[in-house]
Structure formats: structure tokens, C-alpha cells
Amino acid sequence: MKRDPLTSQERIFGRDDGWGQNVTNKLFWEDPYQTHLTTTVSEVAGDLVMLESTIFFAQSGGQESDAGTIAGLPVLAASKEGLEISYQLPLHHRLRVGQLVEVEIDWLRRELLMRLHFAAEIVLELVYRKFPGIEKIGAHIGSEKARIDFVAEENFNTHIPELESDANELIQRDLTIISEFSDEGSERRYWQIEGFSKVPCGGTHMRSTAEVGEIRLNRRNPGKGKERIEVRLG
């Protein structure tokens, strides 16, 4: 049944007509290289739709959403609320519950996001080792660059060459990246490189560090008592 558009309050707190009760099967974790999917619309509320299965990642943990289409229509926004993902489409999309649709994602964007995401993960772990107890206060992964922000009084400039060298050395070793559930019921996931680190993370990951490619690091100062490391692909 097609539902009325969600109010702003309902978008935040949910609604009592069953919206969001069907947990989407998130295939982007099973195969982050998949770019096409035929699936079924499970919920419709105004310009928002939910799918039975999806390959379309929604922004989470600092990683931006994929770009792409559902039924040939551009996805304007993808939102994750709890275990559910909803997609905003043009208002007059005319999709119905139970309808089969084709989902396509922009592979170039997905690949860039995965590479920059994992590059940032590696850099973050190296920073934690170099500065025990340092506090991360923010991170963002886009398709052009990634950034990680820390609480720090020390200027990172002198450490950037070593961090960049250590990160690139690890990347070039072509190490296997394990990505699995730590708690499948609550959809908690982690990535692991044997002998390096095991980290909780619900993003999309490639199979090997070599796929990241060479990276470059820059230091920025986002404010007093803060340091930022920017990550770009070389």
C-alpha cells in the first residue's frame, strides 16, 4: 500500500503504520563489487522507498552514500536509520510495493569511496600507534579525498612523511582484507588484516590492500587544539 509522505517528525522518529519494519538485505557487504541488482520494493512513503535487497550503500560511519538509480530514477539521498535504509526518489516516481525494480550504482564512485575509506582506516590505525591515547573527533570519506580529525596540540607536519611512507608500504604488500560480522543480528561488522589490526566498521571494503593504490597525506589545522590529516589517492 502506498503511504502518505512522512512528516519531518516521522522521518526522525518513525511512524506507526509499519513503515521500516522490513529489514533490507544489504548485499553491498556480501559483494561490494556488484553494480546491478533486480529487487522488490518493500515500502513506499511519498518520495521515500525501501527495498527487499540493496547494493546501494547509505552514508554511515563517515563514508558518503553511493550514487546511482532505482528503476532508472536518480537516488537523491540514501539514509540509514537503525537497521533500515530508505532512498529518496523524485516525488512523482510512481513505484509500488511489490514492484520489481533495477538498481544500478556508479561503480567509479563506489571504487573511489572504498579505496579512500580503507586508506583512511590504515592511516587512522598508524596514528593510534604513533600517538597512544589520541582522540579522533571526526572523519569523512568522499570520492575525492578523506579526512580524519584529532584532538592534538602537536603539529603533525613533521610526522606526515613517515605516516605516508608506512601506509604506502603496508598497502603495497597486497594483504588480504577480511570483512565479516561480529554480531550478525545487530549488523555489527569489522575489517581485519592479520598481523596489523581488527577494527569495527560497517563500510564497504575491497579484498586486498593493493587495490587502494598509492596515497598522499596532507596536514591541515581545523582549529585550536585540533589536527586534520587529509588522504588523497596518488
pLDDT digits (tens, 9 = 90+) for 129-174: 999 999 999 999 999 999 999 999 999 999 999 999 999 999 999 9
- Strand-pairing partners, residue 37, are 103
Residue 15 pLDDT grade (very low, low, confident, very high; cuts 50, 70, 90): very low
Between CA 167 and CA 169 the distance in angstroms is 5
Arithmetic mean of pLDDT over the chain = 92
Looking at residue 154, the DSSP 8-state letter turns out to be S
pLDDT 10s digits, 55-68: 999 999 899 999 99
HSE of 105, CA atoms in CB hemisphere, 13 A: 26
Question: Domains of the chain, with CATH numbers?
Answer: 8-105 (2.40.30.130), 109-233 (3.30.980.10)
pLDDT tier, 7 (very low <50, low <70, confident <90, very high otherwise): very low
* Phi, psi dihedral angles at 7 (to 5 degrees): -75, 170
**Conformation bin of residue 144: beta by default, left when phi > 0, alpha when psi is -120 to 50:** alpha
Task: Decide if pLDDT at 13 tops 50.
Answer: no
Are residues 53 and 119 in contact, defined by beta-carbon separation less than 8 angstroms? no
Q: How far apart are CA 108 and CA 88, in angstroms?
A: 21
Closest-CA residue to 63 (of 143, 174, 129, 169): 143
Task: Enter the pTM of the model.
Answer: 0.89
